[in-house]
Amino acid sequence: AFVTTPAPPAPARPAKRKPPARESQSALEHDELHPSHEEELDDGPGGEDGGDGPPRKLSRAAPKGSKFIPWKAAPLALPEWMVAPPGRLTEEWMVAPRPDGKRCIVLAVGGKTTVRSRAGRYLRKGGPFQSCLPGGSRPTSKRSSAAPNALTILDGVYAPATKDTAECIHVLDVMCWNDHMTYDCNADFRMFWAASKLQEVGASQFDPASNHVAMFAVPVFDANHEGILQAYNYREKVPSFEQDGLVFYNRESHYEVGATPLILLWKDQATSSCAVEPWPDPGPSYPEKSETPLSVVLELKKDGKLYSHDDPPIALGALSDEMKQSGTVQEFESGDLLRFVVLDTLAVLSCGEENVPQHLGLELVGRAGASRGQADSFSRLIFQCRVRHDPLTLEMILESADNPVGMDHE
């Protein structure tokens, strides 16, 4: 079987109700049942942020002058980057291999299934499709007269078709299955629920009539020495699995939309082709240093400062006097996402994390791509600086798992 999961806990069955803080779920359901002509398909280059390439229109009926309006916030749980192993790693955490591809939200409602980026764009060139998910096809959309529209929401990674492989969706998590909300269930249960339900409906089997895209639950392991190595070497066990690092989940965490320190992303050169993230293409060829230049996207606020995507946001700089005097910044407005190059990544590490805003040297490149939905997180900046000079290695993580006493980094 493709899915390998730890023994499930025995929590209560997910409640068939609408949690008080799930307005985003209602908005997602409304968008799919009442689609807008302004939706676009993002088939440009890029990674988890959706890329910086120009989007291609999906709707041929879109009136002239219409443009895509991205979601204000991605309705997904967004991991922070692991800059140090968390405390009680073995006791309180799980680990999974992260699939390579574009982070997505899968929505099955009204007899169709869609795959959207973090910004809300369609990722699949073919648009909506039929799936075996509850609500995702005409046969599975009607459950009863009392609840005519079944709804399923999955968190995943979309892998488009290549010359050697068919397109597929790697399922990371489940937020709703057939109207059963799982936002308030712990991660340990949600992983088991996703794997068992996908297996139950035969989601991994392509069917030209009822399941156009195969879906696989990503395997999850205990974050002990053996489990971490299993996740780390998973690409060797399943050669067709394109890996892009590891994801660590706190067992007791609920599914909280937005950035969360209870999900951690880690990469190295062996598990990812972009552990040291390359400069966006196309982009300037400077600074001419031996290290790969580090690009960072920050949000411009009304006070003229530049903020990360954290809760609360962290001010990491401000537009320089030189730019203000030259008039270059007059075209920018509050809320714009701007791309900068970090001039000295080693200095960022040497000054200490608490002093980064005072010592972060930034040079403006321009606006970030239209498909960017948000700024970078502070942990992403620190991780990318550290991976260039003093990376957190697999051996360090294994040491933390083997020696939990005195290894609390939180």
* Higher-confidence position of 130 and 329: 130
CA-to-CA distance for 360 and 348, rounded, in angstroms? 6
Kindly report the backbone phi and psi dihedral angles of residue 24, in degrees, each rounded to the nearest multiple of 5, phi listed first: -65, -35
Q: What is the band of 370 on the pLDDT scale with cuts at 50, 70, 90?
A: low
- Is 109 strand, coil or helix? strand
Report whether 46 contacts 102 (CB < 8 A). yes
The per-residue pLDDT for 299 is: 93
Q: How far apart are the first and last CA of the chain?
A: 36
What pTM was computed for the model? 0.81
Where does 75-223 show beta strands of DSSP type E? 77-81, 93-99, 102-109, 112-116, 151-159, 168-177, 180-181, 214-217, 221-222
The residues, any chain, with a CB within 8 Å of residue 287's CB and separated by 6 or more, are 293, 341, 343
pLDDT band at residue 350, thresholds of 50, 70 and 90?
Answer: confident
- pLDDT for 211 equals 92
The pLDDT score that the predictor gives to residue 300 is: 92
Residues of 265-284 as b/e, b for ≥16 C-beta within 10 angstroms? bbbbeebbeebbbeebeeee
pLDDT for 114: 95
Give the residue from 382, 323, 315, 320 showing the smallest Cα distance to 347. 382
- pLDDT above 80: residue 165: yes
pLDDT of residue 46: 37
In contact, 318 and 306? CB cutoff 8 Å: yes
Calpha distance 183→255 (Å, rounded)? 5
- Residue among 375, 347, 351 at smallest CA distance from 361: 347
By percentage, how much of the chain surpasses pLDDT 70? 72
CA 50 to chain centre: 10
- Give the model's confidence band at 311: pLDDT under 50 very low, under 70 low, under 90 confident, else very high: confident
Separation CA 240–CA 348 (nearest Å) = 38
CB 286 within 8 A of CB 341: yes
325: left (phi over 0), alpha (psi -120 to 50) or beta: alpha
Residue-wise pLDDT for 351-363, tens only, equals 777 777 777 788 8
With H, G, I as helix, E, B as strand and everything else as coil, classify residue 318.
Answer: strand
For position 281, what pLDDT does the model report?
57
* Residue 134: pLDDT over 60: yes
Nearest to 368 by CA among 289, 298, 276: 298
Lowest mean pLDDT among 21-25, 141-145, 201-205, 255-259: 21-25
Q: What is the pLDDT of residue 120?
A: 85
Averaged pLDDT for residues 73-93:
93
* The pLDDT of residue 33: 54
| pLDDT over 90 at 270, yes or no | yes
Residue 150 has pLDDT above 50, yes or no: yes
276 touches 384 (CB < 8 A): yes
Torsion of CA 266, 272, 273, 277, to 10 degrees: -10
Does the pLDDT at position 145 exceed 50?
no
Looking at every residue in the chain, the average pLDDT score rounds to: 80
Lowest-pLDDT choice from 115-129, 143-157, 176-190: 143-157
Question: Which amino acid, one-letter code, is at 206?
Answer: F
Pairing verdict, β 112-116 and 151-159: unpaired
Mean pLDDT along residues 4-33: 47
Among 75, 258, 103, 256, residue whose Cα is nearest residue 169: 103
- Find the range with the poorest average confidence among 26-40, 158-172, 209-223, 226-240: 26-40
The yes-or-no verdict on residue 219 having pLDDT over 60 is yes
Q: Which of 50-59, 89-98, 142-151, 295-304 has the lowest mean pLDDT?
A: 50-59
Measured CA to CA, the distance from residue 219 to residue 96 in angstroms comes to 6
For the cut 60, the answer to whether the pLDDT of residue 20 exceeds it is no
Higher pLDDT, 284 or 303: 303
Q: Residue 91's pLDDT band (boundaries 50, 70, 90)?
A: very high
Bridge partners (DSSP) listed for residue 151: 109
Q: What is the pLDDT of residue 163?
A: 86
d(CA 251, CA 183): 14
pLDDT for 119 equals 80
Please give the pLDDT value at position 170. 97
* Coil vs helix vs strand at 196: helix
